[in-house]
Amino acid sequence: MFAVPRAYDRAITVFSPDGRLFQIEYASETVKRGATALGIACSEGVVLAAEERPISKLQDPSFMWKIYQIDEHIGGATAGLNCDSHILIDQARIYAQSNRLMYDEPIDLEVLTRRIGEIKQLYTQYAGVRPFGVSILFAGVDKKGSRLFSTDPSGGFFAYRAWAIGAGGDAANEVLEAEYRDDMVLEDAILLALKCMSKVLEGKIDPQKIRIAFVPATTKRFQRLTVEEVEKYIKKLGAGRKAASK
Q: Which contiguous run of DSSP H or E holds residue 94? A: helix 82-103
Distances (CA, A) of 102 to 66, 108, 112, 140, 222: 29, 13, 14, 20, 22
* Max Cα–Cα distance, the chain, nearest Å: 70
Task: Identify the DSSP state of 166.
Answer: S
Question: For the purposes of burial, counting CB atoms within 10 Å of the CB of 16, is it exposed (0-12), middle (13-18) or buried (19 or more)?
Answer: middle
Q: Is 36 a catalytic residue?
A: yes
Query: Which of 30, 36, 78, 113 is labelled catalytic?
Result: 36
Catalytic residues: 36
